[in-house]
Each structure stands twice: as structure tokens, then as C-alpha cells.
Amino acid sequence: MAFVGAAIGDRGALLLRRPRGALGAPAASAGRAAAARVPPPTCAARGPPPPGAGAPPPPATGPAAWAAAAAAAAAPWARAATAAAVAAALAVAPVALPALHVGDATLSGGGGAAVAARGGGYSLEAASGDVNKDAESVLRWALPINNKPVRELQSSLEAITSSMRGLKWGKVEGDVRKAVGVSKNQREKILAGVPADKKAYAEQQLDIVAEGLPMLNSAIGERSAEKVIAMQRSLLRNVGHVEESMVVGFPFEVPAEYTDKPLLKGRATVEMTIKKATEDFDIFGTIYKEGKLTMVLDGYTAPVTAGNFVDLVDRGFYNNTPVVRSDGFVVQIGRPDTKDELYVDPVTKAKRTIPLEVFAKNDKAPTYGLTLEDDGRGYAATKLPFSVNGAMAQARNEFEANSGSSQIFWFLFEPDLTPAGRNLLDGRYALFGFVTEGDFFLKNFGVGDLVVEAKVVDGLENLVQPGK
């Protein structure tokens, strides 16, 4: 299998080359191949976030969590429990190196935070017209829901990111005022979109948001950029849990010819431990013996592709497997020990291939078996874009759309080399999830380094095996 990679020409154009590798290529015409332009290089440093800094892991979701929330809501101490949850969710610990990451800016405290926050930073879908480079935001917007008030709550909190770029504190205060208004005045309309069996859980999450917003205002009053960003992220996760609870059933029918594959009908979270072959990870001077990646796989957008990956993770296929490609653009794993590089089921002895699966933004279901360009829609936006560092996609043969098997790759977003919306990948590869924690390890994850272990930590109940 060969991949058409990217290189910078002497005039700054994004050109195509053909290095050896195992990742399939976009079927781009020669005219379009050199069409993308890249901005001149920048000297701005980009620091990675520490694992979990400033924000605890999100609470468990799914039926068990909803049942627990319902039981808690019925207890007389429910409000006290909620208050404790607010305190825990919004506790901001001192940020250790590497510093807290805010989009393309690094907040390291004091004057350094102010200078860094004035730099770049990602834009969220409803916060500005720019490209969204935040994995969790992209995943929220991709949820198949239609509840305007909760989207307004999400948008107002996400707008803080744009406002923080120039430390526009007055604008940040306005964003929070809007969020407070929606949280207070639109609460019942938000809850109207939640099924009865999940309503207590959604109410609990909204309580945390309502009680956390004054704390966010206090952080703004302190002019603490670190606290504001950490609290914003935590509250947006609570809003995301409300939005997840609104999803009812599965939004479309997977074509019958693919129901013999494992399907992810919902979302799942995978945690992966990675290790360098001969040394430790050195991330801006901080040494890690192992790297930890948290990945959210989106079956609502790519049920076949995400289901294939989650099934292989659950089988232990990726444990103790090496990186087979790492070139500054992608990091690739999952090459099986077979002549044709296709995964073979150890029980049935059948080779597994999966179709190309691409979901255009305004479509009702994915397009299967051909790229959007081959479908006459080469410039259509995709529901999950290659605009996020750590975007996960299915590797395939260059000229065979339906040749995916066990090899997957992480996309390394670099604005100077792979500008969002001009990377020749959107609509040509099946993107099925994002690294939401630990993506900064990927640039140091090289050929021969190992995936020590990958495990499904949430959402395995959403994996539907063939015949079930």
C-alpha cells in the first residue's frame, strides 16, 4: 500500500510525493494536488497540556450512570451531593509542566499566560467562523440532536475561547452572562429534549453547570486565565453529557451489506498506553516513562469504521504492537503479520475488510465505498474534519476505497504544513474519532515504539456484533 504524502515546495505550495508506507492516498487530481497554500512558518511555541490538568475526567455515562443519578435525585441529600460534585468538578489544581494548553496558546501563569493567550487558539464552531480545532467541541457538534437551547448554552461557553485570545475580559464576562441566562431561563426546554430514563442524570449535570457558572465568574474577576479555561472545559463536559443524554436510538440504518461487520451504534472511549522503544518521552522537558492516550470513537458518524476498531481493541489486537509509520504528518499502527496486510479472524480464519465510510456535514447518513470527490462533492465539509491534532482515521490501499482492515492512523495537525480545510484528507478517509487527552505524545511516537495496551473503558455496550 502506498500513501501520497505532503511536502512543502520551494514556493510554499503543498505538493504531493509518494514515500513508501502503508497508508492509502487521496484520489486527487494533479491540478488540485498543488492547489493548497500554506502560510509562512511561525516561531510561536506550542506547548502540550498535562494529562488531566485543571479538569478531572468526565463522569461515567450510559444506563448505569443514568440509573445512579435517578436514585441520587430521589434521596434527601441530593442537593448536598450535587454541591460536592460541583466542588470536585471545578477544583483547579496548580498546573505542572507541561503547561495548560489553550488551543495554540500555552498558559503558564502570570504575565506568561497573558502573552500566550494573546497568541493563537482554536475556534469553536459557534464561537467564530474559523476552523474548529478542538476535539471535544467537534464531537459535541457531531451529536445527532436538535435542541436549540442546549446548543446556545454550549455556544456561549465555547465563545469564551475566542474571547480569551486577546484577554478580552469584558467579552468573556458577556459570554458567561449569556450562559447564565440560558442555564436559568431555558432549563425546562433543555430537559424537554431528554428521555425520561435519562432526565435525572441530565438534571444533575445542569445543576453542576448552574452552580459552576458563578465560580467561573469569580475566576474572571481574578483575571486568572488558567482557572477560566480549566473551568470552561469542565463545564462544557457537563453540557456535553446533557447533549449525549438527548440522543434517542440510532439516527440511520447501516446498509445491509455491512451488517456482517461489528458496528458501534453510539460512542466508546478507549485508553491506550504507549511507550518508546529505547528511551522515555521528553515533552518540553518533562519526562514520561509511558504515554497515555484517551480516544473517543464516534459510531454516530462512522459506525462500521469505529466498530471495527473497538472490536479489535476489545480482542487485544493492538496490544504490544509497533508504530509502522511516523513522518510528521501521520502516526500509523495496526499492521497485521499477513502478506496482504489484512486482519485475519483467529477463529473463523476470514480476512476482514471494511468499506470507506465518509459522512458529509449536511447528509443524513454516511457515504460508503467512494470518496466525496468521486461522488462529485470534493469540496463538501465533513461532519468530523481533519482539523484536529490526533484525528483518527482508517488506513487503506491508495486505489481501493474498500480495503481498510486493522491499520489506523492519527493525523498530526500542523497549521503551517497541513492547513485545516486544505489538507486533501477530508472526504477521502474514514475519520472515526479523536484523541481527547494526551495527543501531545503523538509527535514523539516514532517507528518501532510500542502500543503497550489498548482497552475499551466506556461504551462497549454500544458495540453490536454481527447477528445480534
Q: What is the pLDDT of residues 110-124, one digit of tens each?
A: 333 322 232 223 334
Q: What is the DSSP string of 143-199?
A: S----HHHHHHHHHHHHHHHHHTTT-HHHHHHHHHHHHHHHHHSHHHHHTTS-GGGH
Comparing C-alpha atoms, which of 236, 319, 223, 221 is closest to residue 270?
319
**Is residue 6 a part of any domain in this protein?**
no
Same domain as 234, residue 379: no
Among 29-43, 67-81, 154-168, 361-375, the minimum mean pLDDT is found in: 29-43
Does residue 73 have a pLDDT over 90?
no
Return d(Cα 57, Cα 437) in angstroms, integer: 10
The residue-averaged pLDDT of 112-137 equals: 49
Does residue 154 have a pLDDT over 70?
yes
Same domain as 225, residue 106: yes
Comparing C-alpha atoms, which of 118, 197, 185 is closest to residue 156?
185
Q: What is the 3-state secondary structure (H, E, C) of 381-440?
A: CECCCCCCCCEEEECCCCCCCCCECCCEEEECCCCCCCCCCCCCCCCCCCEEEEEEECHH
Return d(Cα 204, Cα 186) in angstroms, integer: 15
pLDDT at position 422 is: 63
pLDDT at position 53 is: 31
* Residue with grid cell 473551568, as numbered in its chain: 231
**Is residue 46 a part of any domain in this protein?**
no
Same domain as 304, residue 225: no
Return d(Cα 456, Cα 450) in angstroms, integer: 18
Classify the C-alpha dihedral 231-233-238-239 as positive or negative.
Answer: positive
Here the cell at position 466 is 454481527
Return d(Cα 245, Cα 420) in angstroms, integer: 30
More confident residue, 398 or 137: 137
Confidence of residue 397 (pLDDT cuts 50, 70, 90): very high
pLDDT tens by residue, 357-382: 999 999 999 999 999 999 999 888 99
Mean pLDDT of the chain: 78
The CATH number for 308's domain is 2.40.100.10
More confident residue, 65 or 133: 133
For 259-329, list the strands marked E by DSSP: 263-264, 267-275, 281-283, 286-288, 291-298, 321-326
Same domain as 328, residue 206: no
Among the candidates 216, 245, 274, a domain finishes at 245
Among the candidates 245, 263, 295, a domain finishes at 245
Same domain as 276, residue 200: no
pLDDT at position 362 is: 92
State what percent of residues in the chain have pLDDT above 70: 70
pLDDT tens by residue, 77-107: 233 344 444 445 444 333 232 333 333 333 3
pLDDT at position 77 is: 29
Same domain as 213, residue 296: no
The residue-averaged pLDDT of 298-306 equals: 98
pLDDT tens by residue, 204-221: 999 999 999 999 999 999
Cβ contact 435:401 at 8 Å: no
pLDDT at position 451 is: 98
pLDDT at position 446 is: 96
**Is residue 92 a part of any domain in this protein?**
yes
Domain encompassing residue 365 = 252-464
pLDDT at position 418 is: 62
pLDDT at position 421 is: 59
Same domain as 423, residue 283: yes
pLDDT at position 42 is: 26
Domain count, the chain: 2
More confident residue, 142 or 26: 142
Same domain as 375, residue 236: no
The residue-averaged pLDDT of 137-146 equals: 97
What's the Cα-to-Cα distance from 352 to each of 262, 405, 463, rounded to whole Å?
11, 6, 17
Same domain as 393, residue 346: yes
pLDDT at position 130 is: 64
Does residue 108 have a pLDDT over 70?
no
pLDDT at position 378 is: 85
Return d(Cα 332, Cα 315) in angstroms, integer: 19
Among 119-123, 215-219, 296-300, 309-313, the minimum mean pLDDT is found in: 119-123
**Is residue 4 a part of any domain in this protein?**
no
Confidence of residue 143 (pLDDT cuts 50, 70, 90): very high
Same domain as 314, residue 228: no
**Is residue 27 a part of any domain in this protein?**
no
pLDDT tens by residue, 439-452: 999 999 999 999 99
Same domain as 192, residue 294: no
pLDDT at position 177 is: 97
Here the cell at position 39 is 502560510
The CATH number for 168's domain is 1.20.120.290
Same domain as 220, residue 77: yes
Confidence of residue 398 (pLDDT cuts 50, 70, 90): confident
**Is residue 403 a part of any domain in this protein?**
yes
The residue-averaged pLDDT of 145-165 equals: 96
Does residue 6 have a pLDDT over 80?
no
**Is residue 427 a part of any domain in this protein?**
yes
Does residue 128 have a pLDDT over 90?
no
Does residue 234 have a pLDDT over 70?
yes
Comparing C-alpha atoms, which of 154, 177, 175 is closest to residue 165?
175
* Residue with grid cell 474514514, as numbered in its chain: 430
pLDDT at position 71 is: 47
pLDDT at position 419 is: 65
Containing H/E element for 358? strand 357-358
Among the candidates 245, 269, 293, a domain finishes at 245
**Is residue 58 a part of any domain in this protein?**
no
Classify the C-alpha dihedral 256-257-261-266 as positive or negative.
Answer: negative
What's the Cα-to-Cα distance from 450 to each of 79, 100, 325, rounded to whole Å?
46, 26, 12
The residue-averaged pLDDT of 379-396 equals: 94
